[in-house]
Amino acid sequence: KAGVTQTPRYLIKTRGQQVTLSCSPISGHRSVSWYQQTPGQGLQFLFEYFSETQRNKGNFPGRFSGRQFSNSRSEMNVSTLELGDSALYLCASSSTSGGVYEQYFGPGTRLTVT
């Protein structure tokens, strides 16, 4: 079974621009979560989608948004980019099987804002 995939892997943008990142979860997984990793703040939760609905949201400004499609693929968008948005953006999909909860991450998208 293929893992979580994310595109693109690397991105360089300029302040003020916007960016869209894409994530395809593991086949059969309906929940997709997004995280931001920075050296100073560690791994922080952005938001989570299930069946095309945002179920949970972290403490990020409204410039960060996302959506999920009927095939469970998800996108996140960051508008009006700031230098501080430079980070590794990670997508994860999750499942519960036999009472065991597992959440798997993709390889991430490295965003650099100049």
Partner 1 sequence: DQQVKQNSPSLSVQEGRISILNCDYTNSMFDYFLWYKKYPAEGPTFLISISSIKDKNEDGRFTVFLNKSAKHLSLHIVPSQPGDSAVYFCAGGDNTDKLIFGTGTRLQVFP
State how far the Cα of 85 lies from the Cα of 89, in Å rounded to an integer: 10
Beta carbons of 9 and 112 less than 8 angstroms apart: no
Q: At closest approach, how far in Å is the CB of 35 from partner 1?
A: 8
Q: Is 101 in the site for partner 1 (CB under 8 A)?
A: yes
Q: Is 65 in the site for partner 1 (CB under 8 A)?
A: no
Q: Which two tokens stand for residue 44?
A: 């922080």
Token couple for 24: 């395809």
Residue range at the interface with partner 1 (CB under 8 A); choices 14-22, 39-47, 59-67, 70-78:
39-47
Helix (H, G, I), strand (E, B) or coil at 23: strand
* Contact positions vs partner 1 (CB under 8 A): 4, 6, 31, 33, 35, 42-45, 48, 50, 55-56, 58, 88, 90, 92, 94, 99-108, 110
